[in-house]
Amino acid sequence: MQLYNTLSAEERAIMIDDAGKQRLTLSFYAYAKIQDPQKFRNDLFIAWNALDALGRIYVAHEGINAQMSVPAENFEAFRETLEAYDFMKGIRLNVAVEQDDHSFLKLTIKVRHKIVADGLNDETFDVTNIGVHLKAKEFNEILDDPNTIVVDFRNHYESEVGHFKGAITPDVETFRESLPIINEQLKDHKDDKNLVMYCTGGIRCEKASAYFKHHGFKNVYQLEGGIINYAKQLKEEGLESKFIGKNFVFDNRLGERITDDIISQCHQCGKPCDNHTNCENDGCHLLFIQCDDCKAAMENCCSTECLEIIHMPLVDQVRLRTGKQVGNKVFRKGKSENLKFKHSGELPETALATAQKPADIRQKIKVKKVLLGKAEHYYVKAQVGQFTIENQELNSGDKILISGPTTGDQEMILNRIIVNGAETQTAKIGDKVTFEVPFRIRLSDKLYKIVN
């Protein structure tokens, strides 16, 4: 019985593209009492793997917390796998507003001590005595009440690109840090103010609201389903958004736009920008905000040091990072003094710029392209790519497109092509061709010719 992934992320991305099926990005959580989390985990893996569901899921004795991508056509079947458990009957699935077929590329289900690393000792307070759940409309109303204090229970890199107007945005890197800070800051308002809290999907507030009630706060409220669900209700009910900017999410999109306001800056040049990225240097992986110009100039790196490192031969890169701690291996969420325009703590309330509508998506569809072949290898130091020509010949002077999940869509014009070590005008079907590619490409990136 297969209980773990057998495909790499790249192979999966290609399969998803080839299948051409629409996928839904969704998240959900449920607190419960689970006797055997390992068995629960294995049962879910078998059921979901069969439905081609992907994502990052944590299960524990206390419940389940999931962020997933599910083929649209399997959505009902997927819901049935949840409804099979009593504690998930009628569960609310937060379906993302923006969709990206590559939001997740693996099915990873982990058994953890807890479903959220909140650092709380659950034995010391009643975790079921939670705050009042508010829907979007009610949430907007309570924000208008002068007696309301609204607190963002996310981290500094999340609040930086978007938050509710007037919210306290603690300068913290983890959820557990924010609880005592807020408790101290608001200690004189336990009786007279409404403590209103929100987070990405609602899960963090479930515990936080119980924690604050335990600490004597009388009027505790929480945004039901978090910002994700709030955004959905805005659309459905045509409500005014009191949230400005982007909702940061931990899938490959790194953010879902709620309003067109850009409230943060490129950390390198200060231009209005709210696109997070993680540093190209595998030994760094810093999560930061970078505009397209800086991305091109810095080759997706956070600093000149990292830029130098990615141009070293791979063996030297590996040697350099041996023994170094790289955060949680996905992102290093810390701050760096190289980033001059990083903001945290008190954040702006007004837009610095308006996001462009993604018109370029439609333009890309208009471009006619013909598939020629696929990438076989990339020589990092020489910046040369090798491709196999499979469908149609390639000529010197052709305008080409190299496309893949990590590479994105990169266009360039070919000046010099080499087959079997010699410069040539035409590479034929079956040839292995090499040419200079000024950016890193990945195995199995597709090579297209652009025809106008």
Of the pair 351, 367, the CB lying nearest Zn ion is at 351
Cβ 104 to Zn ion, closest distance in Å? 24
* Cα distance between residue 127 and residue 132, in whole Å: 14
Residues 283-302 that bind Zn ion (CB under 5 A): 284, 286, 291, 294, 302
Cβ 326 to Zn ion, closest distance in Å? 10
Q: Give CA separation, 323 vs 155, 304, 308, 320, in Å.
A: 27, 22, 20, 9
Q: Is 306 in the site for Zn ion (CB under 5 A)?
A: yes
Of the pair 309, 372, the CB lying nearest Zn ion is at 309
**Which contiguous run of DSSP H or E holds residue 320?**
helix 314-321
Of the pair 334, 397, the CB lying nearest Zn ion is at 334
How many chain residues are in contact with Zn ion, going by CB under 5 A?
Answer: 12
Residues 6+ apart with CB under 8 A from 365: none
Cβ 395 to Zn ion, closest distance in Å? 36
Catalytic residue check, 199: yes
Stretch that binds Zn ion, among 30-38, 137-145, 279-287, 396-404 (CB under 5 A): 279-287
DSSP result, 356-409:
PP-THHHHHHHSEEEEEEEEEEEETTTTEEEEEE-SS-EETT-EEEEEETTTEE
Of the pair 16, 294, the CB lying nearest Zn ion is at 294
Buried b (16+ CB within 10 A) or exposed e, 197-219: bbbbbbbbbbbbbbbbbebebeb
Which one is catalytic: 199, 205, 279, 306?
Answer: 199
Cβ 291 to Zn ion, closest distance in Å? 3
Cβ 323 to Zn ion, closest distance in Å? 17
Cβ 334 to Zn ion, closest distance in Å? 11
Beta strands in 14-122 (DSSP E): 23-31, 54-60, 63-71, 94-95, 107-111
Stretch that binds Zn ion, among 46-54, 186-194, 272-280, 365-373 (CB under 5 A): 272-280
DSSP result, 161-179:
TEEETT-B----SSHHHHH
Query: Does residue 83 sit in helix, strand or coil?
Result: helix
Q: For residues 447 and 434, is the Cβ–Cβ distance under 8 A?
A: no
Beta strands in 218-337 (DSSP E): 219-223, 243-247, 256-257, 261-262, 276-278, 287-289
Of the pair 23, 246, the CB lying nearest Zn ion is at 246
Stretch that binds Zn ion, among 193-201, 224-232, 261-269, 320-328 (CB under 5 A): 261-269
* Cα distance between residue 209 and residue 217, in whole Å: 9
* Cα distance between residue 370 and residue 398, in whole Å: 12
Q: Give CA separation, 402 vs 216, 334, 336, 408, 417, in Å.
A: 59, 33, 33, 8, 15
Among 27, 219, 277, 281, binds Zn ion (CB under 5 A): 281
Cβ 338 to Zn ion, closest distance in Å? 8
Per-residue HEC secondary structure of 255-271 comes to CEECCCEECCECCCCCC
Among 60, 279, 289, 427, binds Zn ion (CB under 5 A): 279
DSSP state of 300: T
DSSP result, 95-163:
E-SS--TTS--SEEEEE-S-SS-----GGGS-TT---EEE-HHHHHHHHTSTTEEEEE-S-HHHHTTEE
Cβ 193 to Zn ion, closest distance in Å? 40
Of the pair 115, 291, the CB lying nearest Zn ion is at 291
Among 266, 289, 375, 400, binds Zn ion (CB under 5 A): 266
Among 91, 269, 312, 326, binds Zn ion (CB under 5 A): 269
Of the pair 284, 427, the CB lying nearest Zn ion is at 284
Of the pair 122, 308, the CB lying nearest Zn ion is at 308
Cβ 324 to Zn ion, closest distance in Å? 12
Of the pair 222, 303, the CB lying nearest Zn ion is at 303
* Cα distance between residue 127 and residue 174, in whole Å: 20
Stretch that binds Zn ion, among 21-29, 83-91, 105-113, 262-270 (CB under 5 A): 262-270
DSSP state of 303: S
Residues 189-248 that bind Zn ion (CB under 5 A): none
Query: Does residue 181 sit in helix, strand or coil?
Result: helix
Residues taking part in catalysis:
199
The residues binding Zn ion (CB under 5 A) are 266, 268-269, 271, 279, 281, 284, 286, 291, 294, 302, 306
